[in-house]
Amino acid sequence: MAQSIKSKSAESGSRIGVIDLLAHDTKRDEVLLVMNEPRPWEDSDERLHELQERFNAYASFLLDGEFAESHSELAHKRVRIEVRCAHMPDARAIELLGMIHDQLAFQDIKMEVVVKDAAL
């Protein structure tokens, strides 16, 4: 069960810099940051750049001290970023997500992609 700590959302425009949800997953005893991706994947350079910038913002929040300062009670817990997609990412997005996963692993940050495809 996750306890919600902070939630932000942006329904339109750029989502860079928006952390959709920050919670303590008490079952796993991990900090959970959720990144919602409700739009279909467009196979565009702009969309991939936006995704990369969103991850940069999440990583910066975690690694540059802002997270530890605002949530000191959770600062020493393991962290997981969960990307919740409404649609299956296309091949280029999957490739980028794989590279991001590997880079985050160097910082001991887990990353998971969850796809809720209405067609299934």
Number of domains, the chain? 1
Rounded Cα–Cα distance for residues 114 and 86 (Å): 9
Higher pLDDT, 94 or 4: 94
pLDDT of residue 1 exceeding 70, the answer is: no
The pTM is what?
0.84
Higher pLDDT, 4 or 91: 91
* Per-residue confidence (pLDDT) for residue 118, from 0 to 100: 57
* Per-residue confidence (pLDDT) for residue 7, from 0 to 100: 38
In a domain, 93, yes or no: yes
CB 85 within 8 A of CB 118: no
pLDDT of residue 87 exceeding 60, the answer is: yes
pLDDT tier for residue 13 given thresholds of 50, 70 and 90: low
Rounded Cα–Cα distance for residues 15 and 26 (Å): 27
Query: Which amino acid is present at 34?
Result: V
Q: Residue 95 has which token pair?
A: 């490739």
In a domain, 120, yes or no: no
* Per-residue confidence (pLDDT) for residue 18, from 0 to 100: 86
Mean pLDDT of 40-44: 89
Question: What CATH number corresponds to the domain at position 45?
Answer: 3.40.1350
CB 22 within 8 A of CB 36: no
Tell me the residue range of the domain where 34 lies.
2-115
pLDDT of residue 4 exceeding 90, the answer is: no
- Tell me, what DSSP letter sits at residue 40? P
The proportion of the chain whose per-residue pLDDT surpasses 90, expressed as a percent, equals 78
CB 86 within 8 A of CB 120: no
In a domain, 42, yes or no: yes
